[in-house]
Amino acid sequence: MRRTPLPPDTLDAIDRQIINVLQEGFPLCPRPFAEVASALGLEEEALIGRIAALREIGAITRFGPFLDAAAMGGAFCLCAMAVPEERFEDVLTLVNAHPEVAHNYERVHRLNMWFVLACDRPEDIDATADRIERETEIAVLRFPKLKEFFIGFRVAA
């Protein structure tokens, strides 16, 4: 994934509008691009071409269905640990060795290691976190989501 900014004038106003509109959702009908294009005052072909170009230059990372792991019978949990600096690399190796650890970030805080556990079954979350606690002898704080407020992210149009 591209991790550096594109030159500031890479996207025009229409590209920005496309990114904003397509974060909201995409129609389920035989010609969905035609429907979105007409709302934006574009031709179907032009919209498809612009989305392809946005993907090509890395302005968007994906365009498609976003799944809810929990609804599929899986479970997610954000976890945090306060890892002493001198043990950081050793603990990191132990934590990352678990395939259930999906993302892991170092953050500036007493709680300096933040990771997401992704498991097939809800009961595996605690089992995995407990295992990590035993292996590292460091408490694994668990922050399951109680409520999500999703709106998305707007690009200044």
Partner 1 sequence: MIDATDRRILSATQGGLPLVAAPYAEVAGWLDLDEAEVIARIGAMIESGVIRRIAVAPNHYALGMVANGMSVWDVEDEQAETLGAKVGALDFVSHCYLRPRAEGWPYNLFAMIHGPDRDAVEAHRDQIAALLGGACRASDVLYSTRILKKTGMRLRQEG
**Binders of partner 1 among 57-86, rule CB under 8 A?**
57-69, 71-73, 78, 80
Q: How far apart are CA 106 and CA 157, in angstroms?
A: 33
The distance of closest approach from Cβ of residue 96 to partner 1 in the complex, given in angstroms and rounded to an integer, is 5
SS3 category, 46: helix
Min dist CB 84 to partner 1, Å, is 16
Residue type, 157: A
Site string for partner 1, 131-150 (x = CB under 8 A): ----------xxxxxxxxxx
Least separation in angstroms between CB 134 and partner 1? 19
CA atoms within 13 Å, Cβ hemisphere of 140: 26
Which positions from 79 through 118 interact with partner 1, judged by CB under 8 A?
80, 92, 96, 101-111, 113-115, 118
Is 32:26 a contact under the CB 8 Å cutoff? yes
Chosen residue from 84, 127, 130, 154 binding partner 1 by CB under 8 A: 154
CB of 136 to partner 1, least distance (A): 14
Pull the structure tokens for residue 28. 């389920």
Q: Which long-range contacts (CB under 8 A, 24 or more apart) does 35-40 make?
A: 40/14
Site for partner 1 in 4-33 (CB under 8 A): 4-6, 8, 11, 18-19, 22-26, 28-33
**Residue whose C-alpha is closest to residue 95's, from 80, 85, 76, 107:** 80
Minimum CB separation of residue 56 from partner 1 in Å reads: 10
Number of residues that bind partner 1 (CB under 8 A): 80
3-state secondary structure of 132: helix
